Amino acid sequence: MAITAATEADLTALLPLFAGYLEFYQVPKPLGQIQAFLHARLTKGDAQLFIARDAQGEAQGFVQLYPLQASLALESSWLLSDLYVLPSARRQGVAESLMNAARDYAHASGACGLQLETAKTNLAGQALYERLGYVRDDIYYSYWLALPGH
């Protein structure tokens, strides 16, 4: 399995993966909107995406990172915003390889850490994160404010 930084050339392969990710979280979107979103991320450089491909070159999963500032540490960090692996490729080390690529990228960029959130029901994901050394935050709550028109 190969993990590479995604480029515009990977847009077609990323599209069904991202659609599957949105389906997993029960917020499906039209493919045109997904394509526009991913195209913007890949061309604006405001996110870092990695794609996993099997030995035949077929896309198996992706991870997407966004830069953050860790104010309490006075250092840069990364938000591991999105991680998805095709159901047929799960339990084969794809997610772990993507997570490791994210960690290596963050470390190489000089970041002090990686932050992620996941659904309370995503027990498989939680087990992976904890096995990889991520620590669940028991001090802070996460809040969201939806803005009008969105």
The pLDDT tens digits of the residues spanning 15-45 come to: 999 999 999 999 999 999 999 999 999 999 9
How is residue 149 annotated by DSSP? Answer: T
Burial readout 66-86 (b: 16 or more C-beta within 10 A, e: otherwise): eebeeeeeeeebbebebbbbb
What pLDDT was estimated at residue 43? 96
Q: Please report, for the chain, the start and end positions of each structural domain, with discontinuous segments joined by +.
A: 2-131
Q: Does residue 91 surpass a pLDDT of 80?
A: yes
Q: Is the pTM of this model over 0.75?
A: yes
User: Would you give the DSSP letter of residue 100?
Assistant: H
What is the identity of the amino acid at 145? Answer: L
69 pLDDT higher than 90: yes
What six digits make up the tokens of 134?
Answer: 């991520």
pLDDT at residue 149, as a whole number:
85
CATH node for 2-131: 3.40.630.30
Q: How far is the C-alpha of 16 from the C-alpha of 31, rounded, in Å?
A: 8
